[in-house]
Amino acid sequence: GAGVSQSPRYKVAKRGQDVALRCDPISGHVSLFWYQQALGQGPEFLTYFQNEAQLDKSGLPSDRFFAERPEGSVSTLKIQRTQQEDSAVYLCASSLIAPTEGAFFGQGTRLTVV
Partner 1 sequence: SQQGEEDPQALSIQEGENATMNCSYKTSINNLQWYRQNSGRGLVHLILIRSNEREKHSGRLRVTLDTSKKSSSLLITASRAADTASYFCATDRGSYIPTFGRGTSLIVHP
Minimum distance, C-beta of residue 5 to partner 1, in the bound complex (Å) = 10
* Minimum CB–partner distance for residue 51 and partner 1 (Å): 15
Q: How do beta strands 31-37 and 53-56 pair?
A: unpaired
- Asked if 31 and 45 touch (Cβ cutoff 8 Å), the reply is no
Contact 49, 31 (CB under 8 A): yes
Nearest in space to 32 (alpha carbons), one of 65, 77, 83: 77
Closest CB to partner 1 among residues 71, 101: 101
Nearer CB in complex with partner 1: 72/99: 99
Which residues have C-beta within 8 Å of that of residue 71, sequence separation ≥ 6?
Answer: 52
Of 17 and 107, the one with the shorter C-beta distance to partner 1 is 107
Interface residue list for partner 1 (CB under 8 A) = 4, 31, 33, 35, 40-45, 48, 56, 91, 93, 98-108
Query: Is 92 or 113 the residue whose CB approaches partner 1 more closely?
Result: 92
CB of 109 to partner 1, least distance (A): 11
- Look at phi and psi of residue 4 and say left if phi exceeds 0, alpha if psi is from -120 to 50, else beta: beta
